Structure 1
Amino acid sequence: MTSALFAPITLRGTEFRNRLWVPAMCQYSVEKRDGVPTTWHLVHLGSFARGGAGAIITEATAVVPEGRISPNDLGIWNDEQRDAYRPIVDFVHAEGSKIGVQLAHAGRKASTARTWDPQVGTLSEAEHGWPVVGPSPIAFDGLDTPRELTAAEVEGVVQAFVDAAVRSQQAGFDFVELHAAHGYLMHQFLSPLSNERTDQYGGSLENRARIVIDAVKGIRAATGEGFPIVVRFSATDWVDGGWDEASTAQVAAWAQDAGADLFDISSGGIAAKAEIPVGLGYQVPLAATVKRDGDVETGAVGLIIGAQQAEEIVATGESDVVFVGREFLRDPHFALRAAFELGVDLPYYPQQYHRAPFHS
């Protein structure tokens, strides 16, 4: 059959073989705490390429050491890290997929333990932690109050994103994704719940969005016209008076004008006690709204777990791609299985697995 999900999509001359993509998912697996990817990351990311994904995005990858969510996060603030990604990128490409790196700074939500570790709150220096920063001295529930960044420091953060994007391009990545969601630093600037600044980075929507738009402009200038840029937004804080869908659509349109190409639409993360109506495909309407009102291309994410569900999202035009996380963790060959369930004959089934085809 003809499938919208398995039709290719092209961004700035880069063709992705299908629209079933793997989002960034934190692994907290850098045991040396140096930000350098390991064989875990090679196998973890490589398995999705072997399993038929159209694109894969690395976990939140810090642009500076103090931008890590945990001490065990990946980084791309130096050339040693850049060079260690190359075997991963080469393997993914050999399997026919594309791969991007999610560039991130956790801001006030940095310096925390891995999700399975017993520590809670912001880690102390003795626990391999560090002081945290943010747009304003407003703490996330249960974490330390951040030191407010100066305007010059904000400019430095923007430059760190640009430098990290250049290293990503040098490592062979096909695109980058700016993490402006889930309550991390860029989202902290966007949301009025965490940004009470009165300078050029606070107050109006244009000012609160400046860090994102400046980063997009800087990356576009530094990487050239042929390198795709994706931006991940939380479309709503799920809190009255917080960041919302209308603001997301407007900033996405501005970011597109600045050089961004696709918007990965999630939600939440800025407020610990937000009431989020979690359910199958619960964030898909957010992606559809941003796509329509911002006149941009979007990716939908959030409890998309079935082939037919994913197909309908793309076929009906609610979003241009779908990001599937948990189902790819359960089954790294989810894309191959989805193609079988949809009756699509893919040309990239691994020859090494020819004795184990999907079948009724």
Structure 2
Amino acid sequence: MSKMDSPIDLGRLSCRNRIVRSATHSFLGSQDGKITEAELAMYETLAKNEVGLIISGHCCVARGGRANEEQINVYDDSCIDGIRMAAERIHENGARFVVQLSHAGPRAIDTEDLADVTARPLKKGRNAREMTVEEIHAVEKAFVEAAVRVKSAGADGVQLHAAHSYLLSRFLDPTFNQRTDEYGGSREGRFRIVEEIIRGIQEACGEDFPVLVKINCDSKTDDEAYEHDLVYMLSRTKKLKIALVELSGVAFLDEPRDKHVYYFERISRLRRVVEQPMSLVGGVRSLEDIDKVLTDGIDMVSMSRAFVCEPDIIKKLKNGEKSQCLSCNRCFVIAHLHPGMRCVRQRKLLKK
């Protein structure tokens, strides 16, 4: 049996194998932020095709924090029925379901009052002001309340989205965080908002409700120093009993198409220093890639675009087939051009 197929217990989160469907915006939600039948069917298909842990696309925790028109909202109780149906379909097919919680920060599309960690100019002539401490506390409360809703709906846990230039990641990264108060400066200050959210969720949901974190493993500002900061942050997540830290990167979309297993060397080093359960996401396209990660001692392997291209990719890899994913990143735009489609290969098939 491949190590990929071995079960893993992440605290109270028990998964049938080591494969994670990383959080992926599906473009299948409704315009009012609800889970649709198309999205439920997507989750069901993934669960039927041997995925161990499915993490939802990023769900918005507060008004004024939406990143996409079709993004699922979890800032009021109207989300509960959709989350419950998704959890039921996924559980019926043997997988676990974790909901990713996110706030877009200055990338929000549903407000003109854009706030960032530190005041700065944005694209298209727009500007963001600096968040107040009171606003930071309001965001923390929104994450906690969203976690309570998600738990009541039957999800197996939540993941905090602290990567990819969304709000929480901007606090962690000195590229964005030049604050001089308790939420900036030192690594302890930059990590404070994430730690306070974690503690708030544990207090509201119980320490046995799994919390995961997604974080960038690199930075555009003094990357070597950031790696040292990560050792501290991961030591804090371990002490806080975080079930799994999923490590991505700031520029995964810019990686060459023929490159595999992004960030492997850095994540391997971090895993040797801190015994915090971790998963690597980025450029995993083959059974060899999966074996490389797991044999090195990294606990799980996450994939995103490969599952958009082929929801049954795990079965295909086991049968000796290769991933058809081109790493072309068109899955980020094709849904707007051709609603209902998620991969350029789907369009090519329809043309035949």
TM range (shorter): 0.7 to 0.9
Counterpart code for 1:30: G
Alpha-carbon distance between aligned partners in 1 of 2:68 and 2:126, rounded to the nearest angstrom = 14
Check conservation: 1:25, 1:59, Cα contact below 8 A: yes
Residue aligning to 2:296:
316
Residue 216 of structure 1 and its aligned partner are, at CA, apart by 1.0
Residue aligning to 1:4:
3
Counterpart code for 2:91: H
Alpha-carbon distance between aligned partners in 2 of 1:329 and 1:184, rounded to the nearest angstrom = 22
Alpha-carbon distance between aligned partners in 2 of 1:208 and 1:261, rounded to the nearest angstrom = 21
Alpha-carbon distance between aligned partners in 1 of 2:132 and 2:100, rounded to the nearest angstrom = 25
Is 1:178 matched with 2:157?
no
Check conservation: 1:174, 1:228, Cα contact below 8 A: yes
Counterpart code for 2:134: A
Q: Which moved more, 1:2-11 or 1:140-149?
A: 140-149
Residue aligning to 1:169:
151
Check conservation: 1:189, 1:201, Cα contact below 8 A: yes
Check conservation: 1:228, 1:261, Cα contact below 8 A: yes
Residue aligning to 1:327:
306
Residue aligning to 1:290:
270
Q: Is the alpha carbon distance of 1:268 and 1:90 closer, same or farther for their aligned partners in structure 2, counting shifts above 3 Å? A: same
Residue 142 of structure 1 and its aligned partner are, at CA, apart by 4.7
Q: Which runs of 5+ in 2 are unaligned?
A: 322-352
Residue aligning to 1:14:
13
Q: How does 1:26-105 map to 2 (within 5 A)?
A: 26-32=25-31, 34-105=32-103
Alpha-carbon distance between aligned partners in 2 of 1:36 and 1:309, rounded to the nearest angstrom = 35
SS of the residue aligned with 2:127? coil
Q: Is the alpha carbon distance of 1:134 and 1:255 closer, same or farther for their aligned partners in structure 2, counting shifts above 3 Å? A: same
Alpha-carbon distance between aligned partners in 1 of 2:132 and 2:176, rounded to the nearest angstrom = 15
Q: Which runs of 5+ in 1 are unaligned?
A: 112-127, 343-360
What value does the CA root-mean-square deviation take over the aligned residues?
Answer: 2.2
Is 1:157 matched with 2:139?
yes
Counterpart code for 2:169: H
Check conservation: 1:7, 1:19, Cα contact below 8 A: yes
Is 1:227 matched with 2:209?
yes
Counterpart code for 2:103: H
Instruction: Kindly provide the CA deviation profile for residues 86-132 of structure 1, in whole angstroms up to 9, marking residues without a partner as x.
Output: 11110000000001011001111221xxxxxxxxxxxxxxxx65432
Residue aligning to 2:345:
none
Check conservation: 1:61, 1:76, Cα contact below 8 A: yes
Aligned length: 320
Q: Is the alpha carbon distance of 1:256 and 1:335 closer, same or farther for their aligned partners in structure 2, counting shifts above 3 Å? A: same
Alpha-carbon distance between aligned partners in 2 of 1:242 and 1:312, rounded to the nearest angstrom = 24
Check conservation: 1:191, 1:242, Cα contact below 8 A: no
Q: Which has the higher contact order (CA 8 A, sep 6+)?
A: 1
Check conservation: 2:260, 2:289, Cα contact below 8 A: no
Check conservation: 2:290, 2:301, Cα contact below 8 A: yes
Q: Is the alpha carbon distance of 1:277 and 1:203 closer, same or farther for their aligned partners in structure 2, counting shifts above 3 Å? A: farther
Q: Is the alpha carbon distance of 1:242 and 1:179 closer, same or farther for their aligned partners in structure 2, counting shifts above 3 Å? A: farther
SS of the residue aligned with 1:299? strand
SS of the residue aligned with 1:67? coil
